[in-house]
Chain A
Amino acid sequence: MKRRGIAVYAATIILIYFAWYALSLLLGSNILPDPFKVFVRGFEEIATGAFWVHVEASILRLFAGLFFAFILAVPAGLILGSNEKLDRLFAPLIYLGYPIPKVVLMPVIFVLFGLGDTGKIVLLTMIVFFQLLITTRDSARKIDREITYSLKSLGGTRMDFFLHVVWPVSLPGIFTSLRIGVGTAVAVLFLVESIATSEGLGFYIIDAWGRAEYATMFVGIIALSIIGIVMYEIFELLERKFCKWKNL
């Protein structure tokens, strides 16, 4: 992260801290505790092993969901984007499949794949998959004819076309989609972890809420947000490293 980025983050944290503090004074309710109390509770929680079990469970589910969505959606998107016939064939399916809120299929997924990690990861994968598929396909469609001619005249095969043209052209779009996907995935993660489970930050938040331990609840909310931010920054970092040409 650049120095300016760090400064922006630091300024935002300070701003949120004071806004939060002011709001907690204004409300005078336990539901929004003094941020200082939350930080103290946060340090207490970090010192316990139990807290890290929840963090680890959430990170693994999130990572697995994004990973499976990536390995399924990216190759499919690249193929559809560069093959007009296949694209036409699958377009209605994607057109109908994308707007369906997959999250409502949660009960079905849980019955089919179980209440354990598999069901949760399947739902996360499904939701990120469509977003990533559409972005990758649309990026792969934007290939200039001149570039195609250029590669062919240099002796490039169909495989070279994917490797040297379709993949690099689509990469910035894929990273953007992954960054947006992190936001969606964290939201869905909270939902799937709040039901029938005893591990994960979603459970941790709901459990603390049920016990009216609001400071603990906020520790969970902050931890989940940090995971989202770190993943977002990782994808941004990777984009800057692998798509230097895009920002010239």
Chain B
Amino acid sequence: MATSGRFLSVEGLSKTFQSENQTKAVLEGIDLELAFRDCLAVVGPSGCGKTTLLLAIAGLLTPTLGTVRFKGNPLAAPERRIALVLQHYGLFPWKTVAANITLGARLQRIDVSEKRLASVKKELDIEGLDHLYPAQLSGGQRQRVALARALLLNPLLLLLDEPFAAIDTVTRERLQNNLLAVFAQRRFSFIIVTHNIEEAVFLGQRIVVLDNGTHGIKTVMENPGMGSVHYRNDPVFFERTRQLRGILEGLE
């Protein structure tokens, strides 16, 4: 296991996108640390670079400046133990649920036993969907299939890009509870990017607020006490939600 604070570090990360006649800075000087078994929520107004940060941590975008270190090593390409779940689920419409779930394991030539596969499906309540295509699933089911595909790879770090954004409130809360349950049972860290204030407070031990003006980190809010499904009804939850809303309103 990595030592605390060295598990993942983002050091002076900047990302600038260049098109034909203009340069657009999206992230500037981001410093961040994440310990093993930590969960972090990243929030901020639209266009503040939340997804860009996540993609850089996933090894999918090369930073213009700075480094992302995973277990002490600089990250230049996607890393086997970092799994990513995207906003529109990233499922392959032409593959069945079964083929989608096992694709990562197949590409990385990892043998997955039938028993393990069945247990992941059970854990996420997606049994009996094997022969269906993503278009035949509900939003919640698609999200759980995407999560199953990521978990089957035994990730040490799970990256979630607005995973529940397109899902109705009741299903969303159920999926958030699902994620917390999985997190409690397994050994991994996660970073969730969201624009939903309640979601950030419910799922983040720390909440990083990105600033769309400076392209840096506005503040990092500590959120002790989270981790239980009952936290949603806790007065502390409401207070932190109000506090976070205040910070974000100041940015918009």
Q: Which residues of A contact B (CB under 8 A)?
A: 144, 146-147, 149-157, 160, 164-165, 168-169, 171, 243-246, 248
With contacts A154-B107, A155-B104 taken as known, whether A168 is within 8 angstroms of B94 at the C-beta atoms is yes
A160 near B92: Cβ-Cβ < 8 Å? no
B90 touches A155 (CB 8 A): no
Chain B proximity of A90: nearest CB distance (Å) = 22
Most buried by B among A153, A245, A246: A153
Q: Closest 5 A-B residue pairs measured CB to CB?
A: A150-B90, A154-B104, A168-B94, A153-B84, A155-B108
Whether the pair A243, B60 counts as a contact (CB closer than 8 A) is: no
Contact across chains for B133 and A149 when beta carbons are under 8 A apart: no
**Structural contact, A146 and B94, CB atoms closer than 8 A:** no
Closest A residue to B96 by beta carbon equals A245
Q: Which single member of B55, B80, B93, B94 contacts A155 (CB below 8 Å)?
A: B80
CB distance from A235 to the nearest CB of B (A): 18
**Residue of B80, B92, B104, B133 touching A147 (CB-CB under 8 A):** B92
A-B CB contact pairs (8 Å), 14 listed: A146-B87, A146-B88, A152-B60, A154-B103, A154-B107, A154-B108, A154-B153, A155-B104, A157-B107, A165-B92, A168-B92, A169-B94, A245-B93, A248-B136
Is B135 part of the contact surface with A, judged by Cβ < 8 Å? Answer: yes
Q: Does B145 contact A (CB under 8 A)?
A: no
> 17 other contacts beyond A153-B60, A155-B80, with CB at 8 A cut-off?
A146-B87, A149-B55, A149-B58, A149-B84, A151-B107, A153-B58, A153-B59, A153-B78, A153-B83, A153-B84, A153-B90, A155-B78, A164-B92, A171-B94, A245-B94, A245-B95, A246-B94
Considering only residues 138-171 of chain B, those with a C-beta below 8 Å from chain A are: 149, 153
B107 — which chain A residues lie within 8 A by C-beta? 151, 154-157, 160, 164
B203 at the interface (CB under 8 A from A): no
**Could you say which residues of chain B place their CB within 8 Å of the CB of A157?**
107
Residue from the set B55, B58, B93, B135 with the largest chain A CB neighbour count within 10 Å: B93
- Tell yes or no: B82 within 8 A of A by CB: yes
Q: Which residues of B does A touch, CB under 8 Å? A: 55, 58-60, 78, 80, 82-84, 86-88, 90-95, 103-104, 107-108, 133-136, 149, 153
Task: Give chain A nearest CB distance to B112 CB in angstroms.
Answer: 13
B86 touches A150 (CB 8 A): yes
Nearest to A149 among chain B residues (CB) is B60
B90 touches A248 (CB 8 A): no
> With A153-B78, A155-B108, A248-B135 given, is the CB distance from A243 to B84 under 8 Å?
no
- Which residues of A lie under 8 Å from residue B91 when comparing CB positions? 150
Name the distance in Å between B138's Cβ and chain A's nearest Cβ. 14
Q: Residue of A at shortest CB range from B99?
A: A164
Nearest Cβ on chain B to A167's Cβ, whole angstroms: 9
Nearest CB on A from B90, distance (A): 3
Closest Cβ–Cβ distance, residue A125 to chain B (whole Å): 28
Give the shortest distance, in Å, between B13 (CB) and chain A (any CB). 18
User: Which listed residue, A154, A156, A243, touches B94 by the CB 8 Å rule?
Assistant: A243
**Residue of B92, B94, B134 with highest tally of chain A CB at under 10 A:** B94
Hey, which chain B residues are within 8 Å of A149, CB to CB?
A: 55, 58, 60, 84, 86, 90
Q: Say yes or no: B92 contacts A150, CB within 8 Å.
A: yes
Chain A residue at minimum C-beta to C-beta distance from B80: A155
Q: State how many angstroms separate the Cβ of A140 from the closest Cβ of chain B.
A: 14
Shortest C-beta distance, A242 to chain B (Å), equals 9
B109 nearest in chain A by CB position: A155
CB-CB under 8 A from B82, the residues of chain A are 153
A118 CB, nearest partner CB in chain B, Å = 37
Contact A164 B60 (CB under 8 A): no
Q: Is the Cβ of B84 less than 8 Å from the Cβ of A150? A: yes
Q: Who on chain B is nearest to A246 by CB?
A: B94
**What A residues does B92 contact at CB under 8 A?**
147, 150, 164-165, 168
